[in-house]
Every structure is written in structure tokens, then in C-alpha cells.
Amino acid sequence: MPENKKVKLLCSFFDAGDNILVAFSGGVDSSFLLYVLRNFSEAKVSAVTVKTPYIPRWELEEAVDFCRALDVDHKIIDLPLPGAVIMNPPDRCYRCKSILFGHIKEYAAAGGFNIIADGSNADDKMDYRPGMKALRELHIHSPLLEADFTKDEIRKQLKEYGLEIWDKPAYACLLTRIPYNTRINRADLGKIEKCERYLHTKGFPGARVRLHDSLARIELDTGYFEKIMEPETRNIIIRTFREAGIEFISLDLEGYRMGSLNTNKIK
């Protein structure tokens, strides 16, 4: 049994008769939840990942690899871009989660799962999170939130377990890179995905590319400002972004901050 009191509490929510389906994004939180339930709980555990045009491909690949390493049964549900979020409304997370978890519930019912769990944690109560309302309405369990796990605690435990993902940057769906009330199209999603992945592979973990029509606004930790402004690095980033179809490239002097587009969510 685990020594951490919160991990014990988390596992105590379930017993050997439970058949749990974890809504698995491949991020730090759902990875921690899946790892703990797989290794320390008595319940049967499986995972499901929803593939949509606004989820980066590398996240799907990482989710597949993690489940394979844990020897966890893993289902991928492939869905098109929902019409309900095509204009990127301020409540897009509510609409999106209602649709995605609706499909997950159908899969769970057909597969005999009695519990659906997601990776929401205690910190998710601090930001604008309309998707949490959808989870409550659909009766999705959030064990990490119920056990009061914060993001820092989750990362600390993952490090203690020796998992390399403990310091994996937080990601979010690509819709969060586009201002509210802006029509979504696959071309723009592709531009964002390509440019962000390029920045990540070049040593800028967690970088965001916010798209404002023909302008890309790069958000990254301020500690990387000097590095990204080195002439050679700056020039190759400009070239890569232009090749992706972006006309103007800017560096946000405020640096990365979670939910930066939420500031004007009601305008």
C-alpha cells in the first residue's frame, strides 16, 4: 500500500468490485490518477482518450505510450470538430466536455464500467473552468479533487514514483489558443500545433502560441526570453512560423500565464 495519506485516501474511494474508466488526456493529472489506481487500488482500471481536431497529435501519442507502459486497456474515441464549439464561445469547455463525456458515458455503459473518473485537481477550482459544470451534471468522479490533491503535490508524488512525466509542462486543447467568439478552422489549428511543437522541441517547454488572425503571440516562461531573442534562434522561429502560414510573430512580454485569454472572456 502507498505511504502517502492522500494517495491512501484516493484509493479508499474504490473497492475490488469497481470497474473504473479513466478519462485519460495523457497530461500530468490523469497520468497520476491512472498510475495510482493501476498500482495501488483494488479496482479494475481502464483508460479512454478522445481524439479531436483540437487535441495535439503528440498528446495522443504520449497517452498511448503511457497506457502501454502501464499495461492498461486503452480505448481511443475519434470525434470530429463539434458544431457546438465552432465559434469558440466563452463556455466552449462546458459544451465540449458535455459532448466528449457524453460519448465516454455511452462507451462506459456498453463496456460495463460503473465509474468514470477524470483528472481534475484542487487547483482547477481557482481558474475559469466552465467544463467543471459539465462534469458535475454528468456525474463524473474527480478523485484527485475529492482527495484535495494540488498540482504541486501530484508532481511531487510522480517524482517520488520515479516517473519522468513529473515535470511535464501543462497543456490544454488548441481551442484555448484562439480568442473567444472566433470561428475555428482546421488550418488555424494546424498552424498552432506545428508552431508550438517546434518551440517545445527547441527547448521552450510549455510555450503557447496564441493566434489572433494573422498574428501569433508567443507566451513562454520569462526565463527563456534571452534565449528566444538570440539572433539565430529568433530567425529560425520566424522562418518556421512564416512557413506555417503566420504573417506576424510577437513575444508576449508578460510571459506565459494560464488562461490568459480568460481575461476578456465576457467581452
3-state DSSP percent of the chain in helix, strand and coil, to 5: 50, 15, 35
pLDDT of residue 115: 98
Q: Which class would CATH give 174-264? A: alpha beta
Strand partners, 77: 50
Cα first-last separation, the chain: 50
Displacement of CA 88 from its chain's centroid (Å): 17
Query: In the block, which residue shows the cell 455503459?
Result: 109
Burial code (b: 16+ CB inside 10 Å, e: under 16) for 139-166 equals ebbbbbbebebbbebbbebbeeeebebb
Query: In the block, which residue shows the cell 486543447?
Result: 173
Q: Which three cell numbers stand for residue 109?
A: 455503459
Q: What is the pLDDT along the chain (267 residues), one digit of tens a residue?
A: 566 899 999 999 999 999 999 999 999 999 999 999 999 999 999 999 999 999 999 999 999 999 999 999 999 999 999 999 999 999 999 999 999 999 999 999 999 999 999 999 998 876 667 788 899 999 999 999 999 999 999 999 999 999 999 999 888 899 999 999 999 999 999 999 999 999 999 999 999 999 999 999 999 999 999 999 999 999 999 999 999 999 999 999 999 987 666 654 433
Name the pTM for this structure. 0.90
pLDDT of residue 267: 36
Give the Å distances, CA to CA, from 131 to 1, 10, 93, 122, 125: 33, 22, 5, 14, 11
CATH 3.40.50.620 domain locations along the chain: 5-167
Superfamily of structural domain 5-167: HUPs (3.40.50.620)
pLDDT of residue 265: 46
CATH 3.30.70 domain locations along the chain: 174-264
Single-letter amino acid, residue 261: L
